[in-house]
Amino acid sequence: MEKTYTLKKSRQILRTVYAWFKKKGNTLDTVAATNLEQDLRTLDTAVLSNDRLASSALAKKLETFSEKNIKKSFFEYGYELFFALLFALIIATIIRQMWFEPYEIPTGSMRPTFKEQDHVTVTKTAFGINVPLKTSHFYFDTNLMQRTSIVIFSGDGIALEDTESTCFYLFPCWKRYIKRLIGKPGDSLYFYGGKIYGIDIDGNPIEELLNGPWMENLEHIPFLSFNGDISSNSNNQFFFSQMHQMAGRVLMNQFGPRKSEIFNGKDWIKDQPLASKSAHDTIQTYSDIYGIKNFGMTRLLTYDQLLGQKSLNSKNIKQAPLYLEISHSPTFAVVDTENEKNIKSADQLLTTFKTYIPFNESHLKKIMENMYTARFVVSNQKAARYSAENVRFNKSNPEFNDIQDGTYEFYHGKAYKIGFGGIAYELETSHPLYSLQSKNVQRLYNLGIEVNKFYEPSIQNQNLFPNRYTYFRDGALYLLGGLVMEKNDPALVDFVKSESEKEQNSNNNAPYIAFKDYGAPLKDGQFDKAFIKTFGITIPEKNYLVLGDNHAMSADSRVFGFVPEANMQGAPSLIVWPPGSRWGEPLQKPYSLFVTPRLIVWGIVATILSLWYMIHRRNKQQSVFKE
């Protein structure tokens, strides 16, 4: 049985043939033109009368005519296709730039909130209305920017490499980045104990940075490395910056460093590391800045590796499975005067003090209970950090002889194997990755973020540290964001006592600054506003400070500085893949639904759809001969 066309299809055939008739009907002879016009009018009447059977029969007749007579040239097909695609691209670009857009997360910089290969939807109307393909807004409401919420921003003008991109491989634009919003204009922020203490422009405590539920399991470190960014000029001056803000400078000559200074926010002054021995109310040394002195860079050493460290006094060393080496209290004042003339690179201009804590089996177990790594790939017994583009293996990749090929990760002490589409499957506790042997703990700790043998302890590269940090919080010692040593742990009590003695017994010729708990920036139980303002970082007008949830491998404001207001482009709304406990709304302070930017864009879309519906409905009820 022959299929009956719908009224919609009949109407489409009518419009197609009628459009051709108006344009090229004069190419037909008089009789053919008259007959075609009559058929068109008859079909028009049948469609308007909703007579499906009659419409279908006439539409098929016109369709036969069309197949024989209405033939488009290659140019006409190409012309129509080009403009159809161009129109679709323009509409898609406007939607993605101004309304919403799907994203795939390429790196682990926002772990655990977002992981590699996560698919998320992003709303572009959370706090403004973007100008398509431009770094600016038609409308922007600063009051809608929320600390502890997550933002999407453009790389335009950001101090990162390779920020240029294209939209649909056609329109020039900028790569977008995803981070958590920590500071707003006028805020002053100070880092202690893996947490951030802040006051706003009016001096009010920013409680959500400490107490927000989405901040509970996150830790924040004010630097990626003590060196920060290093630059130089033709006068043989080397400049060091943290948070992309000038922090210190060293003037060199042929004999070595001649003058070392830090910037205290107003003036260049001599770096005085010994100022850390006592309380002071102005920035006196490099480690004062932003709370850097509260944190140490760490790695784990074996007993033999410990004995190989030149900075160690080997007397009274207690035997232990592993030792935590802590590099801390960076300074530009050259401590090792013996090697002053042997400085060969700028990163050697910044020196640190080093200390060691013996770790027993219970400490190693706590490390494993908090262990996290980057996502890494094992292939042919070699491991390399996962990359969305291309995983590269070379001589610097460590060996994982006991692990089968595959993609793995650790988080909060649990190991996973990654399957298709980024779906994670938790490994059995008997898996070799869970081994509590000191060799495995050391391997995961020292290589787990960079997955690179450059960070293995040795005399030749002893100054290279992985991005593993330690800090005190209320007297207890933390690693990997978790408690490792209680305040009353005998090993920690001995360490604190030893550090105090080393500092007291040091002198100007052989100075030492203890790694200790300087305490939270509190005064009488309240935020010490003057202290936070003096030693913290203050965000300038129309700028924001953003940090990655995975501080150990995130290029964020610690690298490129503040993000200008104009760069802010939207916020993630849903994790749509992979399925699991993280599916749905991400862990962030929720954005309000009914806000001015959303209502404006939704209103525009609703108006366009309403106009289209009205025109479409009118066309359905109107003869094509009257259009």
pLDDT, tens digit, for every residue of 92-108? 889 999 999 999 998 88
Token pair belonging to 349: 């201009």
Q: 325: burial class by Cβ within 10 Å (0-12, 13-18, 19+)?
A: buried
C-beta separation of 135 from 567 below 8 A: yes
Residue 29: the pLDDT is: 86
Dihedral angle sign, alpha carbons of residues 548, 554, 556, 558: positive
What backbone torsions phi and psi does residue 165 show, to the nearest 5 degrees? Answer: -155, -170
**Cβ partners under 8 Å of residue 623, min gap 6:** 44, 48
What backbone torsions phi and psi does residue 475 show, to the nearest 5 degrees? Answer: 90, -15
Cα–Cα dist 368/482, whole Å: 10
C-beta separation of 515 from 499 below 8 A: yes
Q: Which residues of the chain have pLDDT under 50?
A: 335-338
Token pair belonging to 286: 């490099």
How far CA 585 is from CA of 214, 386, 411, 572, 574, in Å, comes to 12, 25, 20, 8, 5
Token pair belonging to 624: 């094509």
Q: Is 413 left (phi over 0), alpha (psi -120 to 50) or beta?
A: left
Identify the helix (H) or strand (E) that includes residue 55.
helix 52-69
CA torsion angle for 443, 444, 447, 453 (degrees, to 10)?
20
Residue 338: the pLDDT is: 47
Identify the helix (H) or strand (E) that includes residue 553.
none
Query: How many other CB atoms are found less than 10 A from the CB of residue 577?
Result: 16
Residue 62: the pLDDT is: 86
Residue 25: the pLDDT is: 82
Would you report the helix, strand and coil content of the chain in percent, each value rounded to 5? 35, 25, 40
SS3 labels along 277-305: HCCCCCCCCHHHHHHHHHEEEEEEECHHH
Angle at 250 between CA 247 and CA 254, to 5 degrees: 165
Residue 626: the pLDDT is: 74
C-beta separation of 4 from 55 below 8 A: no
Beta strand 164-167 with 171-174 is: antiparallel
What backbone torsions phi and psi does residue 437 show, to the nearest 5 degrees? Answer: -60, 140
C-beta separation of 38 from 25 below 8 A: no
Q: pTM (2 decimals)? A: 0.89
Omega of the bond leading into 106 within 30 degrees of 0 (cis): no
Cα–Cα dist 288/332, whole Å: 12
Residue 336: the pLDDT is: 43
The DSSP code for 519 is -
Residues β-bridged to residue 526: 523
